[in-house]
């Protein structure tokens, strides 16, 4: 076919024009007995390798699930132990604070003066010496 510089006049419509020399695709006729989705479906046989592969993957998956569950249980036990240790630490800190407060109260100057007066002792400021290191 030789090219010539003649252009076809194409109308400005939105409908496509059909050319008589171009073959239009014909819709495929489906058999009456089968639905459209199952036209060419055939079951393929499963090989021994595929069966083994599925079995191994299943076993690995089951093993990983068991590992995840056991790790969560171990983490829960560790958290419980940590909470117990924190409670014990808090209890001892409270005891230490209370004991320090009691020691400070027993060593207070006013308490010692009261005990000295009950025992008949007196405090003379002239006899007190302050010693610095």
pLDDT at 113: 86
Q: Is residue 89 part of a domain?
A: yes
Does residue 70 form part of some domain?
yes
pLDDT in 10s for each residue of the chain, 133 residues? 556 666 666 666 666 555 656 666 666 655 565 555 555 678 888 899 999 999 999 999 999 999 999 999 999 999 999 999 999 999 999 999 999 999 999 988 888 888 888 988 887 777 777 787 7
Cα–Cα distances (Å) from 57 to 5, 63, 67, 113, 132, in that order, read 67, 10, 15, 84, 80
pLDDT at 121: 86
Is residue 92 domain-resident? yes
11 in a structural domain: no
pLDDT of residue 125: 73
In a domain, 53, yes or no: yes
Output the pLDDT for position 112.
85
Compute the distance between CA of residue 76 and CA of residue 83 in angstroms, rounded to an integer: 11
98 lies in some domain: yes
pTM check: above 0.75: no
Domain membership of residue 103 as a residue range: 49-118
**133 lies in some domain:** no
Residue 4 within any structural domain of the chain:
no
Total domains present in the chain:
1
């Amino acid at each position: 076919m030789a090219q010539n510089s003649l252009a076809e006049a194409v109308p400005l419509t939105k409908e496509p024009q059909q050319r008589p020399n171009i073959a239009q695709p014909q819709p495929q006729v489906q058999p009456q007995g089968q639905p459209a989705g199952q036209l060419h479906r055939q079951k393929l046989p499963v090989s021994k390798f595929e069966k083994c592969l599925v079995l191994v993957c299943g076993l690995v998956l089951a093993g990983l699930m068991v590992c995840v569950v056991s790790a969560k249980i171990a983490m829960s036990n560790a958290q419980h132990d940590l909470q117990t240790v924190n409670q014990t630490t808090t209890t001892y800190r409270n005891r230490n604070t209370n004991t320090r407060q009691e020691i400070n109260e027993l060593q207070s100057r006013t308490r010692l003066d009261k005990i000295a007066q009950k025992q008949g002792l007196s405090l003379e400021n002239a006899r007190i010496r302050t010693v610095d290191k």
